[in-house]
Amino acid sequence: MQIVRSSLFTTSFQQLRATDNDLFITVTADLRYLVEKRRSAELPQVRFGLAQSRYPDLMGEVRSHISGHLAFVRTIFAMPKDESVCAFLLLGDKNSQMADATTGNYWYDQAIPRADALWEIISQGLWGLLP
């Protein structure tokens, strides 16, 4: 399986590493679980079939949380049924405490269309243009 990371995902992942090492370790473990189990990965860490997406059969999310922490990190990814690629598209905290942050379902309202657009770039083979 080929692993692809958008620069949006990579930047957020690096920021998480710099600001919250415990959560970074948890997110990393959850992403490894997805890569190892692929489409056999299950809740509570992995959910396939994001209904809001234009590609619900491909899109999923990795759910990362540490009990007692405020952050609920979500990694939006795409994985075709043939498991040939796993594209990490976006990473964000749907429960962000930052001023003017988009949270809860509103986070998904913004994240899913962005993830769809990123997947379209990847699926067209335009890797060099990936934001």
Instruction: Tell me what pLDDT residue 111 has.
Output: 92
Q: Average pLDDT in the 73-86 region? A: 94
Task: Please report, for residues 26, 35, 90, 109, 112, the alpha-carbon distance to residue 39 in angstroms, rounded to integers and kept in the order given.
Answer: 20, 9, 19, 24, 19
Tell me which fold the domain 2-123 belongs to. YaeB-like fold (3.30.2310)
The answer to whether the peptide bond before residue 80 is cis (omega within 30 degrees of 0) is: no
3-state secondary structure at position 98: coil
Note whether 47 and 63 are within 8 A (CB).
Answer: yes
Mean pLDDT of 85-101: 80
Mean pLDDT of 46-75: 94
Both structure tokens of 89? 């598209």
Percent of the chain predicted with pLDDT > 70: 89
Distance, CA of 89 to CA of 24 (rounded, Å) = 17
The domain limits of the chain are 2-123
Q: pLDDT tens digits for 107-128?
A: 888 899 999 999 998 888 755 4
| pTM of the entire predicted model | 0.89
d(CA 71, CA 92): 9
